[in-house]
Amino acid sequence: MKKYLPHLAITSLIFNAAIFGFFYAWVCSTMWGLDNADPNTAIAAMQAMNGSVRNATFAPAFFGTPFLSALVAYWAYRVNYKKVAASFAAAAIIYFTGGLLLTMVVNVPMNEALALIKLPQSATEATQIWNDYSAPWQFWNITRTIMSGIAFVAACTGLYQLGKASG
């Protein structure tokens, strides 16, 4: 059982890094770029991106990260690596609540509401729609970025502790 734990822990770390990087990229490039675009273009682009993100490449990191971290925590606990288990359990809980659950409860409903909007003819109306969407969406995206970053650090800590415990 101990033999496979490092491989599982590294995989969990990679998943945590992938999801943190995904959210981070939205913070520092995607949304800033859309905010600088014509509002109708921003709305259409966001609708397209939200429609395309539901795919088999994204799903494992988005949905699997907390469960993989929890599996590492369970496995580490079973082999009596309590600090490792605590770090990966923290990663699982933090990402599940502050990343996955937050996304499903806040960002996804906002995205679904935006998907129903027909591109307005009026530039003023398009600006209002985009501003009403972008600012709160970005606030919650920054929140889930921070939370997934903390989960990533917890997973890093767990991997470090695993190296100390098994070395």
Q: What is the per-residue pLDDT across 80-103, written as a single tens digit (0 to 9) for each?
A: 999 999 999 999 999 999 999 999
Grade residue 105 by pLDDT with cuts at 50, 70 and 90: very high
Query: Which residue's entry shows tokens 């903390």?
Result: 150
The pLDDT value given to residue 2: 87
Residues in the chain: 167
The pLDDT value given to residue 166: 82
Q: How far apart are the first and last CA of the chain?
A: 16
The pLDDT value given to residue 117: 95
What's the pLDDT tens digit per position in 133-156? Answer: 999 999 999 999 999 999 999 999
Average the pLDDT over 29-38 and give the result. Answer: 96
The pLDDT value given to residue 42: 98
Q: Is residue 154 within 8 Å of residue 91, measured between CB atoms?
A: yes
Residue % of the chain over a pLDDT of 90: 95
- Residue 125 class from Cβ within 10 Å (0-12 exposed, 13-18 middle, 19+ buried)? middle
The pLDDT value given to residue 164: 93
**Does 74 score more than 80 pLDDT?**
yes
**Does 159 score more than 90 pLDDT?**
yes
